[in-house]
């Protein structure tokens, strides 16, 4: 996206300096998605998203009066916390806001959305078109956005498997509600065959200390990520990222009782990126800290 700020200064804030996000997923290397938190003083901008579909989720504590000019049409209204706008790729627009704006911007790669649509619809689409939204409410998309924001604030503690799962769920939600072509989700009547399930579980067990990706698990069985996530959950009753977290905590419990390694060493051996990361997840699943568990 290209932001071109006008020469407008309010309360000594120069808009030319307002383009940098407060938080960004760029440094974490998330695939097919860019998530950034912004806070801008009042102003206006010309915006253009070339190869990404963009969702903006308002985080503003007070409603912001917003104006948008897109494809010859003008839209205006108050944006309150939780309101969402959707801008399809290759759709330039002009925007103006009259007070400080605080929002989360989620950019999904157009080719990724296209691929997910083909997997869902099981047909070769030459071009996928999304419906633009100026201001709407969508509790499911808002919830996913807040989970992504939490990952940014916690330095991506959930790992790539968690982020890829959220990205896939968000893409499916967008397609179901905002694609011009109706996206009917397929129904999977059974989970994974036992042989395939054991193959995935063994892979997870052998790579607990690595940042396992959803795409890697799906590729083991030659499935799409969307298909794999559904049949895996049907097979064992929990999502892949939740199962991975459970197994990492189980491994940590074994090492805490059977070795004298430090909690930090155990954290790294189990795929956690810090002592505090292990402690937080361990306590959520067991009700006690790693140190308390070791001494009991």
- Tens-place pLDDT, residues 180-232: 876 665 555 566 888 999 999 999 999 999 989 999 999 999 988 888 988 99
Cβ contact 39:98 at 8 Å: no
User: Is the pLDDT at 156 greater than 70, yes or no?
Assistant: no
Please tell me the distance from the alpha carbon of residue 227 to that of residue 20, in angstroms, as a whole number: 37
What is the DSSP code (8-state) at residue 238?
S
- The SS3 call for residue 232 is helix
What is the torsional sign of CA 190, 196, 159, 209? positive
User: Is the pLDDT at 119 greater than 90, yes or no?
Assistant: no
What is the DSSP code (8-state) at residue 186?
P
Cβ contact 88:70 at 8 Å: no
Q: Length of the chain, please?
A: 296
Residue with the larger pLDDT of the pair 19 and 281: 281
Q: Environment class of residue 74 by beta-carbon count within 10 Å: exposed (0-12), middle (13-18) or buried (19+)?
A: exposed
pLDDT of residue 123: 56
Which of 63-72, 83-92, 125-134, 260-269 comes out lowest in average pLDDT?
A: 125-134
Cβ contact 266:282 at 8 Å: no
What would the pLDDT profile of 74-114 be if each residue is shown by its tens digit?
999 999 999 999 999 999 999 999 999 999 999 999 999 98
The model's pTM: 0.80
- Cα 251 to chain centroid, rounded: 27
Strand partners, 10: 13
Q: How far apart are the first and last CA of the chain?
A: 54
Please tell me the distance from the alpha carbon of residue 124 to that of residue 35, in angstroms, as a whole number: 28
Cβ contact 271:159 at 8 Å: yes
Torsion angles phi and psi, residue 29, rounded to 5: 70, 30
Please tell me the distance from the alpha carbon of residue 117 to that of residue 229, in angstroms, as a whole number: 16
Q: Which two tokens stand for residue 71?
A: 């494809």
Question: What domains can you pick out in the chain, each with its CATH number?
Answer: 4-178 (2.60.120.280), 189-296 (1.10.10.60)
Q: Which two tokens stand for residue 155?
A: 């330095």
Torsion angles phi and psi, residue 57, rounded to 5: -115, 120
pLDDT of residue 10: 28
pLDDT of residue 3: 36
Task: Identify the residue whose tokens are 């700020």.
Answer: 5
Indicate the Cα dihedral angle 41, 76, 21, 47, nearest 10°. -110
Please compute the mean of the pLDDT values over residues 268-278 and round it to a whole number.
Answer: 90
Q: Which two tokens stand for residue 162?
A: 């968690």
pLDDT of residue 180: 83
- Tell which residue, 281, 17, 19, has the closest CA to residue 159: 281
């Amino acid at each position: 996206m290209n932001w071109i700020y006008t020469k407008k200064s309010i309360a000594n804030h120069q808009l030319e300096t307002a383009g940098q996000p407060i938080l960004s997923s760029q440094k974490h290397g998330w695939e097919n998605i860019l998530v950034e938190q912004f806070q801008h003083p009042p102003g206006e901008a010309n915006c253009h998203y070339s190869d990404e579909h963009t969702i903006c989720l308002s985080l503003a504590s007070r409603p912001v009066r917003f104006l948008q000019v897109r494809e010859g049409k003008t839209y205006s209204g108050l944006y309150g916390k939780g309101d969402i706008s959707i801008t399809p790729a290759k759709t330039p627009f002009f925007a103006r806001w009259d007070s400080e704006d605080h929002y989360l911007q989620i950019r999904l790669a157009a080719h990724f959305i296209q691929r997910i649509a083909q997997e869902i619809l099981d047909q070769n689409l030459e071009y996928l078109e999304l419906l633009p939204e100026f201001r709407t409410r969508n509790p499911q998309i808002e919830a996913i956005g807040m989970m992504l924001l939490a990952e940014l604030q916690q330095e991506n503690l959930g790992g790539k498997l968690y982020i890829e799962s959220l990205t896939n769920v968000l893409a499916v939600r967008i397609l179901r509600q905002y694609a011009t072509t109706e996206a009917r989700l397929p129904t999977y009547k059974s989970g994974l065959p036992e042989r395939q399930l054991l193959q995935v579980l063994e892979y997870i067990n052998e790579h607990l200390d690595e940042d396992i990706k959803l795409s890697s698990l799906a590729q083991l069985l030659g499935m799409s990520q969307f298909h794999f996530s559904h049949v895996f959950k049907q097979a064992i009753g929990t999502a892949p990222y939740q199962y991975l977290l459970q197994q990492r905590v189980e491994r940590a419990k074994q090492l805490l009782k059977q070795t004298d390694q430090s909690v930090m060493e155990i954290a790294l051996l189990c795929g956690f990126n810090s002592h505090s990361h292990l402690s937080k997840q361990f306590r959520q699943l067991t009700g006690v800290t790693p140190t308390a568990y070791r001494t009991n």
